[in-house]
Amino acid sequence: MRRIVVVGASAAGLAAVETLRREGYDGTLTLVGEEPHAPYDRPPLSKQILSGEWSAKQLPLRPYDVLDGLGLDLRLGVAATGLDTADRTVRLADGSQMAYDGLIVATGVRPRRLPGEGAHVLRTLDDALALRDRLGPGRRLVVVGAGFLGAEAAAVARKLGARVTLVEPAPVPLVQAVGHAVGQVLSQAHVEHGVDLRTGVSVEAVTEGGVLLDGGELVEADEILVAVGSLPNTDWLADSGLTVGDGLVCDEYCAAAQDVYGAGDVARWHNPLFGVSMRIEHRTNAAEQGMAAARNLLHPGARKPFAPVPYFWSDQYDMKIQAYGYLRGHDEVAVVDGDLAGRRFVAAYRTGDRVTGALAVGMPPKAIRLWRQTVAARAIWHEAVPTRTSAATATEVA
């Protein structure tokens, strides 16, 4: 294998090329990125960059001299437009083609949008800088979507003095991910900080001067941020013969086809630890999966299943939120430490008879790391969760 192409120059793609070099690969290594910027960190976009605490210079994941040391054929500012797996070539938007012996797809996701013009999204550095320049005391911001991204942006905007309306179609924000009780606790923090939280309503369209709700009401705004989820960047794979379904479909080794692997937000793979197919849009998973895909591509005779305990975090006001595991589709939530009302707690999540996740708010890192081990061990629920937990105040059946 003398020619490896990695398409996608963010956390997953960078981790892949670094791993390939570290594992001894000395052939031609091409890294393709649609954005003109060198690989940079995305989680700070909705936090430190949006708030103005960081400059763009603090975002790069590696300085240029480190990238130069990898000996890359670095193609930035050009998107991949097609893939021919029979001829083993990748087509680029500039009209060029690249042959490969091995390929890693790490093209990430793009934001979903709503009908109408003029709304912001928040995925790239340029997106964050454009919104940051429009926020400040007294400015009216409508955030559509109260998931983690929308909630973080709303929190930052309030700190900057903006008047924020947060619109969410679900009756409780984040209910599918974290459960009803935890979702209520997290959303209450926004209300206490002066956010006009509107749940159970949908936005039909972005209009001049605001957003139009499904009931016909116009919510006026100076700026609008749409944070209603994302779409995997798989359009360029349409005629490749690879299986695509809410992401590039991969097996437990992150393989999508012979010598083709997926990594990061774009990859939907079978995680044998949980026994389900999942696609994870979190920074830690992107780096870990980039490394795993690179190793399995380079060493096909020694492949290992990619079976991580996913991890994510979120900062909102004074709340540090951390979670391990796969929380979606859970059957039960139980507070195992602290209390919900004080927003200092650890909640465990059950799916079937197993502990499949844990989430902490305002707790020291050690408190949640212990539960990571419990999830990784596939612990039986009734053996791992303390019986002292009060069913009346701390347990929720989904």
Cα-Cα-Cα-Cα dihedral sign, residues 201, 204, 210, 216: negative
> Which CATH code is given to the segment(s) 113-226?
3.50.50.60
Q: Do β-strands 260-262 and 255-257 pair in parallel, antiparallel, or remain unpaired? A: antiparallel
How far is the C-alpha of 377 from the C-alpha of 383, rounded, in Å?
Answer: 12
Nearest Cα to Cα of residue 385 among 341, 338, 329, 347: 347
253-276 pLDDT per residue, tens: 999 999 999 999 999 999 999 999
pTM of the model as a whole: 0.94
User: What radius of gyration, in Å, describes the C-alpha atoms of the chain?
Assistant: 22
Which residues of the chain fall below pLDDT 50? 388-395, 397-398
> Which CATH code is given to the segment(s) 318-397?
3.30.390.30
| CB of 62 closer than 8 Å to CB of 38 | yes
Indicate the class that CATH gives domain 3-110+230-302: alpha beta
**Domain residue spans in the chain?**
3-110+230-302, 113-226, 318-397
Alpha helices, H only, 6-72: 11-22, 48-51, 64-69
Angle among Cα 182, 313, 128 to the nearest 5 degrees reads 110
> Which residues partner with 248 through β-bridges?
244, 267
Q: Is 28 helix (H, G, I), strand (E, B) or coil?
A: strand
8-43 pLDDT per residue, tens: 999 999 999 999 999 999 999 999 999 999 999 999
pLDDT for residue 387: 60
Alpha helices, H only, 138-239: 148-159, 175-178, 180-192
Does 3-110+230-302 match 113-226 in CATH topology?
yes
> Which residues partner with 206 through β-bridges?
211
| CB of 210 closer than 8 Å to CB of 131 | no
